[in-house]
Each structure stands twice: as C-alpha cells, then as structure tokens.
Amino acid sequence: MNLRRDVFQAIADPTRRSILMLVAAQSMTAGAIASNFDTARPTVSKHLQILTECELLRSEQNGREIIYHLNPNKMKEIADFIEPFRQMWDDRFNKLESVMKAYQKGN
C-alpha cells in the first residue's frame, strides 16, 4: 500500500521549513543542503525524502548528484488553502483597528 505523506505534517517540522526556504532561493544538492544544518546527513536525507514524497520538492539526477528543486505548484496549493484563513484574520484585525481608533477619538 502506497501511503502519501500529509503536506501539512511535512511543513510542521522547522527543519523541513528551513530546507524549503533554502531550496526556494536556489536549487541545491543534498550535501549543500546538509551543510546548513548541525545534524547528521542521513537525518537531512530523511527530511528530503519526506519533502519529495509530499511533492514540495522534486529531485533531478545530474550525473552522480541529485539536485533538489522547489515545486511551486505544490506550494501554491498550500497558499490557496491558507488564503481564506488569512483573509478572515485580516478582516478581524481591521475591525479591531476601527474599534481602537474610535476608542482613541473618544478619549
């Protein structure tokens, strides 16, 4: 049975979020990614495997090296899911700001 990892569980981990930020700036090999962390290379490889399984990263074989690239389409899916929540909070903060301004004028 092929179980898919949940993308939100993947991005819940701070190391994986850091890896996404690194690869978003520039495609990198596993070794280059691992050099940014104080953990064992197999640990970073496991994080890369999870991110690849969730399709947040895609890997490309280049000779003996594997280069990791950010998958912007999958990142957009996450952003699209989060957007209604962001709008809800923006609306709430705007209402709070209006109340605070009205309160300050009353004093």
Q: What is the pLDDT of residue 103?
A: 87
Q: What is the pLDDT of residue 104?
A: 87
Global pTM?
A: 0.78
Counting as low any pLDDT under 70, the low residues of the chain are 1-4, 107
What is the three-class DSSP state of 36? coil
Nearest to 12 by CA among 59, 57, 47: 47
Ordered structural domains, the chain, with CATH? 7-105 (1.10.10.10)
Q: What whole-number distance in Å separates Cα of residue 60 and Cα of residue 63?
A: 10
**Residue 30 and residue 45 in contact, taking contact as beta carbons nearer than 8 Å:** yes
Q: What is the pLDDT of residue 83?
A: 94
Q: What is the pLDDT of residue 3?
A: 53
> For 70-74, which contacts have Cβ atoms below 8 Å and span 24 or more sequence positions?
70/20, 70/23, 70/24, 70/27, 74/7
CA distances from 48 to 19, 44, 56 (A): 8, 6, 10
